Amino acid sequence: MGQETFLYQLNERPPLHKNLIYGLQWVMTSIPSVVFFSTLCGVALGLDPEAQISFSQRLLIASGLMTVFQSFVGHRYPVLEGPSSAILVTFMVLAPHGGLPVIEGGMIFGGLFLILIGIFKWLKWLSSLFTPRVVGVILVLVALTLISFIYPLLIGISKTAPFGEVSIFGSSLLIILLVSFMSHRLKGFLQTTSMLTGILFGLVLFFLKGEISFSLVSQSSWFALPSPLLGVWPRFSLPAILAIVCTYLAVMVNSLGSIQGISEVVGTEGLENRIHRGIGMTGVGGVIAGFLGVSGLVSLSISPGIVLVTRVASRYTLTMSGVIMILCAFIPKLWAVLTAVPPSVIGSVLFVVLSSQLLVGINVMLARKGTIERREYFTVGIPILMGAMISIMPKQFFQLFPNIIASLVGNGLVMGILFSLLLEHVLFRQRKENR
């Protein structure tokens, strides 16, 4: 699509009333991801409903701040910032090993690592490590390593039902089919809100079954600061720092793909500087998320599709959406409603998202390739199976390792990335003429 077909170009400011509408549309896209990421993090941390509301508010503040910063100072493209699924994997793995303080300390270091990459423009050196095979393995691993956290939600495992419930599994399958059908069959705005529709459908479904309580909604105020406003005091643990720094390499690849993707839609002028500014600003987001005590953020790859559907390429619509997100974060009653959504509903929606990501990863690995080389049986197959196997191994096994490395070797995503880099660039390194 040529830029002349847009209603508003990259650096044009729409009128205020239109900008509000465009901004709200972006916010409608971001809220479902904030809801289900904060729910999964809350389950991992064992948060009570009030703490869950505070976590959701802080995560939306972080998303809104970074969307504003990126549109003004960072890459300056119309790209939405939201929670990273790669960080989510590491967040949930580290939650039993030191809890939120250790996670915060690791994210602060991971964010500083990306800031250094952006300032000193190290991307040219690092990008040679991330071949299509490595990138594809990362995308596949994010989907596979989250399965061990999602399946208990899908079948309703709890203290009262240690083996799950058939009725909850049936409801999960129904939501999965609905969201995937809407994402495939519908067009335009309805297609982009299929996740939100799935969450609302699940909320109504469980309400009719009498399994949802809205008592917290009536107790919540209309306007209040998150309590607490910041996370706990961070604690710096070497294994957690190494795990999250390694995970932030995957976040960097994700951000790079999102920035390059939107540049193909709205223009590539000054792309190299935009990429380094964007990655550096993603690092700033990691530091902010660390101090707020929430999951790290990334530039979302769905943004080019939204721009093409709406025909609005102005980065100022993202500035407006970031402001609206921050304002929405101070409405506890809104988050009390969303917090009432059962975890199985959130898990069902995320299942559909990850199924798409799984195929994206395979497509990246096979792009422009007629056949699969023999070395790829090992450079791709071993890291994927290793990461998936680690994610389902009993947690007690990793207690046999020294505490300093248990949280590192027990992270399927991190170990899969390390194995992928080792096999791709060391053990099965291609000869120079074949690269």
DSSP state, residue 5:
G
pLDDT above 70: residue 403:
no
Report the mean per-residue pLDDT for the chain.
83
Predicted confidence (pLDDT) per residue in 354-364, tens digit: 787 787 778 77
Predicted confidence (pLDDT) per residue in 276-308, tens digit: 999 999 999 999 999 999 999 998 876 776 777
Residue of 279, 273, 213, 292 lying closest to 248 (CA atoms): 279
pTM: 0.75
Q: What is the pLDDT of residue 81?
A: 93
Buried-exposed string 390-423: b where 16+ CB fall within 10 A, e elsewhere: bbeeeeeebeeeeeeebbbbbbbbbbbbbbbbeb
Q: What is the pLDDT of residue 285?
A: 95
Residue 319 neighbours by CB under 8 Å, 6+ apart: 23, 67, 68, 71, 72
- Strand, helix or coil for residue 298: strand
Name the more confident of 37 and 311.
Answer: 37
Q: What is the pLDDT of residue 3?
A: 46
Is the preceding peptide bond at 83 cis, omega within 30 degrees of 0? Answer: no
Q: What is the pLDDT of residue 44?
A: 86
Predicted confidence (pLDDT) per residue in 371-400, tens digit: 777 788 888 889 999 988 988 888 788 888
Tokens for 296, please give them. 């790290």
| Per-position DSSP letters for 65-91, written without gaps between them | HHHHHHHHTSS-SS--EEE-HHHHHHH
Which of the four pLDDT bands, split at 50, 70 and 90, describes residue 189?
low
Predicted confidence (pLDDT) per residue in 126-138, tens digit: 777 778 888 788 7
Count of all residues that appear for the chain in the document: 435
**CB-neighbour burial class of residue 128 (10 A; exposed 0-12, middle 13-18, buried 19+):** exposed
pLDDT above 70: residue 404:
no
Which of the four pLDDT bands, split at 50, 70 and 90, describes residue 433?
low
Cα(408)–Cα(419) distance, rounded to whole angstroms? 13
Predicted confidence (pLDDT) per residue in 48-80, tens digit: 888 888 898 899 999 999 999 999 999 999 998
Cβ contact 185:197 at 8 Å:
no
Tokens for 74, please give them. 């960072």
Predicted confidence (pLDDT) per residue in 211-239, tens digit: 777 776 777 778 888 888 888 899 998 88
Q: What is the pLDDT of residue 1?
A: 44
* Share above pLDDT 70 across residues of the chain, in percent, rounded to a whole number: 91
Name the more confident of 346 and 317.
Answer: 317
Q: What is the pLDDT of residue 234?
A: 92
Tokens for 67, please give them. 């969307």
Q: What is the pLDDT of residue 190?
A: 65
pLDDT above 90: residue 316:
yes
Tell me how far apart the terminal alpha carbons of the chain are, to the nearest angstrom: 33
- Taking 3-state DSSP, the helix, strand and coil percentages for the chain, each rounded to the nearest 5, stand at 70, 0, 25
Name the more confident of 323 and 228.
Answer: 323
List, in sequence order, the alpha helices (H) in 95-231. Answer: 99-120, 123-127, 132-145, 147-155, 166-185, 188-192, 194-208, 215-219
pLDDT above 90: residue 99:
no
Residue of 292, 316, 296 lying closest to 94 (CA atoms): 296
